[in-house]
Amino acid sequence: MLTQEELKQKVARAALDYVLPLLAPDVVIGIGTGSTANLFIDGLAAHKHLFKGAVSSSERSSARLTALGIHVFDLNQIDRVPVYIDGADEIDAGLNMIKGGGGALTREKIVASVADRFVCIVDESKLVPCLGKFPLPIEVIPMAIAEVSRRVARFGGTAALRQGFTTDNGCQILDVSGLRIESPAELEAQINNIAGVVTCGLFAIAGADVALLSTQQGVQTLYSPRS
């Protein structure tokens, strides 16, 4: 029986195999945040001579990339990236996701928006029949915390401020528990329209294009029904 860490290592390797044919001297790729993304970054370092550099969804990932000798570009310097590699906290069969457990959800959404393909890398524990068991992160302007908490309660959720945490954008995170998200794109739009919300951690209006799912039987490739 493989441990979760071993499953993460296998899917990070599968993501590297997926990306290698896309690398070229003028290519910049998008890279996310989290423990599985870190394993991908570590593997990518051995191939840094094959591509131009990366754009990153967090200061943490940028620091890791830089330390390994991979040049990190400001996204304002880049028009498109061929691929964005990132993990998820939950993902369903439609490749809708909850992301933001590490607090980088806004920058993750921004980098994903300029990618030709979003490849989500997860272990089998993250695949769920319905999103919502993992608390939904919402990045919020600090003065709106109380009002956003009240508004989210109308959807049946209970919001808790993530204590001692500030995002790379200088905002705060509300983690919303108690949701059963049967229409993720609709809920994403509704929450994002609340004044004071920067963005929520639902990636459903634009979900993943491909998921590499690490299981005890090997790494499976899932494709979005939107593709």
Digit-coded pLDDT (tens) for 85-106: 999 999 999 999 999 999 999 9
CATH number of 4-127+205-223: 3.40.50.1360
Domain 136-200 class in CATH: alpha beta
The secondary element (H helix, E strand) that includes residue 42 is helix 35-44
149 annotated to bind ligand? no
Q: Where in the chain is the domain with CATH 3.30.70.260?
A: 136-200
pLDDT lower than 70: segments of the chain:
227
pLDDT of 149: 98
The catalytic site residues sit at 108
Residue 32 has what pLDDT?
97
The answer to whether the annotation marks 100 as part of a ligand binding site is: yes
DSSP states along 55-111: EESSHHHHHHHHHTT--B--GGG-S-BS-EEE--SEE-TT--EE--TTS-HHHHHHH
Q: Would the annotation count 87 as a binding residue?
A: yes
Contact 151, 192 (CB under 8 A): no
**CATH 3.40.50.1360 domain range(s) in the chain:** 4-127+205-223
CA distances from 135 to 11, 46, 85, 176, 222 (A): 24, 36, 22, 5, 24
